[in-house]
Amino acid sequence: MSGALHDLGVAALAARLKAREVSAVEAAQHFLARSRAHQALGAYLAEDEAVTLAQAAAADARLAAGDTAPLLGVPIAHKDIFVTKDFPSTAGSKMLAGYRSPFDATVVRQLAEAGMVSLGKLNCDEFAMGSSNENSAFQPAKNPWDATRVPGGSSGGSAVAVAAGLAPAATGTDTGGSIRQPSSFCGITGIKPTYGRASRYGMIAFASSLDQAGPMARSAQDCALLLSAICGPDPDRDSTSLDVPAEDFSRGLGDSLQGLRIGVPKEFFGEGLAADVRAVIDAALAEYVKQGATLVPISLPRTELAIPVYYIIAPAEASSNLSRFDGVKFGHRAAQHGDLLDMYKKTRAEGFGDEVKRRIMIGAYVLSHGYYDAYYLQAQKIRRMIADDFQQAFKTCDVIAGPVAPTVAWHLGDHGNDPLADYLADIFTLPASLAGLPGMSVPAGFGEGGMPVGLQLIGNYFSEAKLLNAAHRFQQATDFHLRRPAGY
């Protein structure tokens, strides 16, 4: 690796800032220039150099005063699902084009208080609905490993920014895999914590019982530093925030894996898994065995049901959450309309994209009279069973490992006329989301076309430290997380 700032992860850049080898302003200027040079990737939706440099100057002042906060002065960019005072907050939708929030999301505020410098807002699928970032109303983000391919979604812009060295770290959100899948497709590390560990306040809601914030960065060490800053209770603003204190997730990094029991679900290795992905995952599991871990065969029998269950529950919650976008108080309003009902119809028809409309309609249908019991209620019952399957598995293993996605990143437009193909790509990430469990993607190798493949690690509730250590030990023995796409 060269000594360029964009080759450094969060921990390494923080060390250089503390040693005063580089200033926060210089680091911010470097990444802003990188972003301008690689605009064709479509990673950013909003930037403001004056805001960024003012934050960097404030960080330099804290560093000069002897402040030793671990993230002080390190740049970060935020998925455009998080509302921000200093940048527009659009959720990747025309419905919110140009919207300015009067406050920062809790996660944004926590990272700012830790001294991180915001580079801007990152592209995403509209209202976080998608697996490819092609549903952004403004432009699709492109995978830096192959610009003809998708970066994954919905946190596609976040994954692109980190993979291409346009930011050392980014925030993402994971409703059904939207941190883990783009991390896998772009060869970076990302973690979704236990549901409720990070505040949802200020995250533009998609499915409230599933949405969860998490960090995306180069390494498990970097993710541990970021996760330590954003976890913790937020009872005054988020009623689903858990009363579990923040912890230092980097403290246990490097612990031995001797005796670690890794559950390998047979349902994750069936006919739908591409041979190139399977080969990478098998090799990663073999590395864990070399480090003293034991592989334990397990079963998650309701894995296939996760797709229909998720695509009933998530659209149902989306139809409710997105009802607020009606052109009355904020956001887009149709310029030409008749009465109030006509304004509602035209505003929503103009403001929402096809995938958002599709999910709103599905959600309204499954919640309607006569169908609630047949669909939504049954889906919630099976969701509970999926969670029980995991608890049964954790009686015999400490963590669960498998692929993040059945294939490597597909080409832009491949799923254009087949939304079900996108849905099926989430089969391995949805179960943990429905159960509210922590999960992460760890760069594990490369498959067809030289595209990255991620290893998924899933833990029991509040076992983020265990997952991060398992990922860290793997990264100490391999260099997949250090490899960069050509030209970046």
| 454 close to 404: Cβ distance less than 8 angstroms | yes
Burial class (CB in 10 A: 0-12, 13-18, 19+), 325: buried
pLDDT for the residue 2: 46
Dist. CA 75–CA 32, nearest whole Å: 10
| 240 close to 436: Cβ distance less than 8 angstroms | no
pLDDT for the residue 418: 84
pLDDT along the chain (488 residues), means of 10: 82 97 98 98 98 98 97 98 98 96 98 98 98 96 98 97 98 98 98 98 97 98 98 96 94 95 97 96 98 98 97 97 93 95 96 96 94 95 98 98 98 88 92 98 98 98 98 98 96
| 225 close to 18: Cβ distance less than 8 angstroms | no
pLDDT for the residue 420: 85
Catalytic residue among 89, 178, 228, 250: 178
Q: Which helix (H) or strand (E) holds 120?
A: strand 117-122
pLDDT for the residue 286: 98
pLDDT for the residue 417: 77
Task: Output the CA–CA distances (angstroms, integers) from residue 159 to 18, 77, 122, 366, in the order listed.
Answer: 26, 11, 9, 33
Q: Give the predicted TM-score (pTM) of the model.
A: 0.97
Catalytic residue among 79, 121, 142, 192: 79
CB atoms within 10 A of CB 383: 24
pLDDT for the residue 473: 98
Superfamily of domain 7-258: Amidase signature (AS) domain (3.90.1300.10)
Dist. CA 156–CA 169, nearest whole Å: 13
Residue type, 241: S
Q: Which helix (H) or strand (E) holds 454?
A: strand 452-459
Is there a catalytic annotation at residue 79?
yes
Strand segments, DSSP code E, in 181-279 are 189-192, 212-217, 261-265
CB atoms within 10 A of CB 255: 14
Catalytic residue among 35, 89, 118, 154: 154
Structure tokens at 131: 């697996």
| 70 close to 169: Cβ distance less than 8 angstroms | no
Is there a catalytic annotation at residue 290?
no
For the segment 434-448, what is each residue's pLDDT rounded down to a tens digit?
A: 999 999 999 999 999
Dist. CA 323–CA 343, nearest whole Å: 14
Strands 261-265 and 399-403 turn out to be parallel
* pLDDT-above-70 percentage for the chain: 99
SS3 24: helix
Strands 189-192 and 439-446 turn out to be antiparallel
pLDDT for the residue 1: 36
Please name the residue that has the structure tokens 């029980």: 388
Residue 410 has what DSSP assignment? P
The C-alpha angle with vertex 26 and arms to 221 and 24, in degrees rounded to 5, equals 50
For the segment 99-143, what is each residue's pLDDT rounded down to a tens digit?
A: 999 999 999 999 999 999 999 999 999 999 999 999 999 999 999
Burial class (CB in 10 A: 0-12, 13-18, 19+), 350: middle
Is there a catalytic annotation at residue 346?
no
For residue 178, how far is the Cα from the chain centroid? 5
Domain boundaries, the chain: 7-258
